[in-house]
Chain A
Amino acid sequence: MFLVMGACAVLVWRAVDLHVFNKTFLQNQGDARSLRVDTVVANRGMITDRHGEPVAISTPVDSVWIHPEIYLKEPQDLSSLAKLLKLDASKLRAKVLKRKSREFVYLKRRINPELAKQVMQLEIPGVSLQREFRRYYPMGEVGAHIIGFTNVDDMGQEGLELAYNDWLKGEDGQQRVIKDRLGRVIKPVALIKQVHPGKELRLSLDRRLQYLTYRELKRTVFKHRAKSGSAIILDAKTGEILSLVNQPSYNPNNRRNLKGSRYRNRAVTDTFEPGSSVKPFTVAAALESGQFSSRSIIDTSPGRYRVGQSTIRDIRNFGRINLATVIQKSSNVGASKVALAIPGENLWRVHNGLGFGMSTGSGYPGEVEGVLTHSAEWREIDQATLAFGYGMAVTPLQLARAYTVLANDGVLLPISFLAQTAVPQGERVLKAKTVRQLSNMLEKVVTGEGTGSKARIAGYRVAGKTGTTKKTSTDGGYADDRYISVFAGMAPASDPRLVMVVMINEPRDKVYYGGEVAAPVFSKVMAGALRLMNIAPDEKDYQSVHMAALGENK
């Protein structure tokens, strides 16, 4: 009797001992043999254009890895695995044996999920998959500079992938799972940390315009054997970037053997002297000062003008001309005389107000601010040359932004790479009246008598300005054989919707004038863009002819 009770007591004590006193230890030991924490990999967010078309997508891939210790307990033939993975069977065996003390050895990274499934069907002990994501860019070279790319670990390295990395990247989750002795997941048990997939990013970009811009810019850079080129289209009403292209470019889906210079988004990170393309802003300063009106006459004869030690030249003697003709014929002498007639401070204030020498607010990594020195530091010659765009440095994006002021009744908008839901708060920098007068002058540039006649578009009124800049040579002066050709403009001129800047760096063919090299790109791309965006032609003659056909009266 006592014996039985004694035995029972011992058993009960043992049970209590195991359940109460050693519980934690034993449970930990048991769990350690079956429970594992698994990482749930978060998907990186998709990047789309303004219409929701994908421009960067992550697709799942699997990496095959092996736990050599588990495998070596019951080794199997690896030849079928090697065949699936297109690896050499003997090398594979050697690799596993060599690393037998490790717990994690990659056999092959980033294979497609279908193949991975076949690998798992071989049921080789110790072989597992790890989910990873690979980034694909359906536009390839076309959108490379805006979007940028990610590295092997799916982190943004360049462009908007870098700028919005935190928004896109998402957060890996963790869950507790039960695994069998071969390391296969039997079932998930509990959630430790919720996985947060990356968020989607909608750009202001329009894939169609982007392609159009890319095609024409590439063609032109190739044709003129130019060193590089950039082109930008902005929405005049919102400051959104609709397309932005640089040449040379690269394919973000395959970045092997690539030079760093191709990665650079030159439209945002490289500056140049804008030349005559900023003459309208000199005229704007003149009109705003009240000292000049659209009827003012400037004497530019004899086509030369001496300022201090230097001489400013026109291509020929234009004689006595008004402000509109200064712009239309791109007279350096006229622009300099106007600039020297008004206080330097006024000239500086207009340029500063247009955003030169400061960031555009685009948030693009590596954006530069350009150079605009304060009028207090100017000598007379500095003030004169600034009138036709020398002695300052701007990015193509800054130039485009300044032109949106002319397209937007004198209001400067922040620039955005992301689709905007509302029109952002702008800042008035020029009077609406000044802008109207300037717009009329800029339309004269794009006529048969102007320098930008090749920017014309059938059916539409176009306003714009050409620019041809000599590049500085290594010895300090300006080179006579290296140029930058620019065209900046907007359409339709009656109520501008699109602003575009084309910049071609060092065209090495016979022609180099902005009106010859850059203006045709503007014309071709803008014509296509206006059509794609369903913007009605605004040219009077055209309207009367083609609407009369319907018997309409307008």
Chain B
Amino acid sequence: MNNKWILPLLGVLVLVSALGVVFAKHQNRKLYAELSELQKQRDTMELEWGRLQLEQSTWATHGRVEKIARQKLKMRNVDYDKVVIVK
């Protein structure tokens, strides 16, 4: 190798590396934007899940269930005399 080529070669390498940095940075931003989008989706789903859980547990409040069971469905506890234990 003679000195004549070293400088232009390094110049080209610098240029390539510079382009590489630009590319990586661009990729990084793109991927981060995508990640944020997915995270946002996940959050929305999680929030929806939380809301549904809340709704479910509100419907399933014991007071409400008991009232419906006793009044609407006319259910009652079994007398202990009628219970048979299976072991």
Chain A residues within 8 Å of B, Cβ to Cβ:
43, 46, 53-54, 57-60, 113, 136, 138-140, 142, 175, 187-191, 207-208, 211-212, 215, 458-459, 531, 536-537, 542-543, 546-547, 549-550, 552, 554
Contact = CB atoms under 8 A, between A and B. Distances in A.
Interface string B6-39: 0000000000000000000000010011001000
Given A59-B47, A187-B33, A54 B54 contact: yes
B86 interface: yes
Interface of B, secondary structure class, is helix
B2 interface: no
Given A211-B63, A458-B80, A136 B54 contact: yes
B36 A57 contact: no
A239 B61 CA distance: 26
Interface of A, secondary structure class, is mixed
Contacts of B85: 536-537, 543, 546-547, 550
Contact of A138 (B33, B36, B54, B87): B54
Contacts of B3: none
A109 B68 CA distance: 36
A138 B57 contact: yes
B41 interface: no
18 contacts: A43-B46, A46-B53, A54-B53, A54-B57, A59-B51, A59-B54, A60-B50, A140-B61, A142-B63, A188-B36, A190-B29, A191-B32, A211-B62, A458-B80, A459-B83, A537-B83, A547-B85, A547-B87
Contacts of B54: 54, 57, 59, 136, 138
Given A187-B33, A458-B81, 19 more contacts: A43-B50, A46-B50, A46-B53, A54-B54, A57-B50, A57-B53, A59-B54, A113-B47, A188-B33, A189-B29, A189-B33, A190-B32, A212-B62, A459-B83, A537-B85, A542-B80, A546-B84, A547-B84, A549-B84
B58 interface: yes
Contacts of A554: 87
B58 A138 contact: yes
Nearest to B63: A211
10 closest cross-chain pairs (CB), A and B: A211-B62, A138-B57, A458-B80, A188-B36, A459-B80, A60-B47, A57-B54, A549-B84, A187-B33, A54-B57
A57 B85 CA distance: 39
A546 B81 CA distance: 8
A149 to B, nearest CB: 16
A542 B80 CA distance: 9
A255 to B, nearest CB: 18
A215 B53 CA distance: 24
A550 B57 contact: no
A189 B58 CA distance: 40
Contacts of A546: 83-85
A189 B34 CA distance: 10
A188 B39 CA distance: 11
B30 to A, nearest CB: 10
A57 B33 CA distance: 29
Interface in B39-72: 46-47, 50-51, 53-54, 57-58, 61-63
A207 B62 contact: yes
Contacts of A549: 84
Find the residue from B32, B57, B58, B63 having the highest chain A CB count within 10 A: B57
A187 B50 CA distance: 26
B86 A550 contact: yes
A531 B77 CA distance: 10
B60 to A, nearest CB: 8
A458 B53 CA distance: 37
Contact of B32 (A59, A189, A211): A189
B70 to A, nearest CB: 12
A58 B86 contact: no
A46 B86 CA distance: 39
Contacts of B33: 187-189
A208 B62 contact: yes
Nearest to B82: A546
Contacts of A136: 54
A142 B63 CA distance: 10
